[in-house]
Chain A
Amino acid sequence: MWQKFRNELHGDGLEIVTVGLETAGAEACRPFIEAAAPEHPSLIDQAHRSAELFGFINIPNAVWIDESGVIVRPAETAPSPPSIERERRSPFAGIEPPEHLLAIAGEAVNIQSSPAEYEAAIRDWVAKGSDSRFALSADEVIARSQPRNADAARGQAHFELAAHLEKLGHHDDAVPHYREAHRLTPDNFSYRRQAWSLEPAGEGLDGPVTRFWQGPIPGSEDTWPYDSDWLADVRAKGAENYYEPFTP
């Protein structure tokens, strides 16, 4: 998704690194990465370590780092550049979506972001460097980085334990730690999406689309191990508030 943009600006000194936050590991990322055929580094982060270090709380999020290794924009919503390909793509292509997935799609169309504004900001930074109005001072970067109190730090430790146990194949042991992570980091949506996406999807589905189910299976609500799910969370928060607006 970022490949074309990267190639256009690579000669001007920009490199893109994509990081797949995926406790399920590389194979779950493989079809997407191979389809994108990136020439830039494309990494796998099973423990969500990059999220802990930089403050990613939803997907897609990004940080900007200058030539000397200084962060000039902390983690924020990072919509990929507008493209016809993206507008035409649907995770439900080729299937007859069950009602639950149609409900998710119905909310997803109301999610708002600013891909054109974000792309223009990156271009301005690449052209002007530290003179770009989008390149923030060190104090501003720290002040705008994600809040982290003692509870949130503990929640991140629980998530790391959950991811570790998941990697070892101990899914049932991981669930209580995901739950604690969710309770202690209420603003972290990627922790929720990750855990929800590892639960079973409705019957008749196969492949990557199953990861978007992220909620109880009708008739089996009692077995859902979490206090919320994607649809419930988005409806409670409002799809229009799913991503923070871009702040120059």
Chain B
Amino acid sequence: MITESLTISRRAFEEGTGWLLKPEGACKGDVCIPLSDQPMVASSDSDSNNDLVDLVGIAEQMGLPLVADDKNGVWALGPDSVGSRTLVTAEAPELTLPDLDGNLFSLSSLRGQKVLMVAWSPY
């Protein structure tokens, strides 16, 4: 996920990485990575989704790469390598992308059907 700040909301972290922050750690499916240090830096209001996450700290604890482009002031928080495989669970991750006209479509809206998702390119 791309970020211009090293402190982001819990909601942005969870949506961007697919890892949910729970009392037992950062979890995806049945897999949890224990967090020894509290990654929250502050609670900005009563909605826990707006809690703030220290990206440097949580990236280090979870083994997520945090790559900077200093010139443009942006970072990319990369994916986990916890299981040495792309998937740590067979549950399909949520994916929301635009169509040609910019209308957003979420993969999860196709529950109840078999889905063949094909990646292609014009090159």
- Per-residue CB proximity of A46-90 to B under 8 Å, as 1/0? 010111111110011111111111111011001010000000000
Q: Which of B70-123 contact A (CB under 8 A)?
A: 71-72, 74-81, 83-93, 95, 97-100, 102, 105, 107-108, 110-123
Residues of A within 8 A of B108 (CB): 69
A205 within 8 A of B: no
Q: Is the CB of B113 within 8 A of A60?
A: no
Q: Is the CB of A50 within 8 A of B2?
A: no
A28 within 8 A of B: yes
Q: Is the CB of A142 within 8 A of B88?
A: yes
Of B5-13, B19-27, B41-49, B58-66, the one touching chain A: B58-66
Chain A, interface size category, equals: 35 or more
From A22, A41, A153, give the contact of B65 (CB < 8 A).
Answer: A153
B56 within 8 A of A: no
Q: Is the CB of A141 within 8 A of B90?
A: yes
Q: Which of A69-119 contact B (CB under 8 A)?
A: 69-72, 74-75, 78, 80
A173 within 8 A of B: yes
Q: Is the CB of A42 within 8 A of B119?
A: no
Q: Is the CB of A13 within 8 A of B86?
A: no
B1 to chain A, nearest CB (A): 7
Q: Is the CB of B122 within 8 A of A29?
A: yes
Q: Which of A1-59 contact B (CB under 8 A)?
A: 1-2, 13-22, 26, 28-34, 41-45, 47, 49-56, 59
Task: Take A64-B114, A158-B76, A164-B74 as given contacts and tell me if A146 and B85 are in contact as well, using a CB distance cutoff of 8 Å.
Answer: yes
Task: Take A65-B114, A141-B87, A142-B89 as given contacts and tell me if A41 and B105 are in contact as well, using a CB distance cutoff of 8 Å.
Answer: yes
Q: Is the CB of B120 within 8 A of A18?
A: yes
**Can you sample 9 A-B contacts with CB below 8 Å?**
A15-B114, A17-B116, A22-B123, A53-B95, A65-B107, A68-B111, A154-B65, A160-B2, A161-B67
> Taking beta carbons and an 8 Å cutoff, which residues of B are in contact with A?
1-2, 18, 63-67, 69, 71-72, 74-81, 83-93, 95, 97-100, 102, 105, 107-108, 110-123
> Taking beta carbons and an 8 Å cutoff, which residues of A are in contact with B?
1-2, 13-22, 26, 28-34, 41-45, 47, 49-56, 59-72, 74-75, 78, 80, 122, 125-126, 129, 138, 141-143, 145-150, 152-154, 156-158, 160-161, 164-165, 168, 170, 173, 177, 190, 193-194, 196-197, 208, 211-212, 214
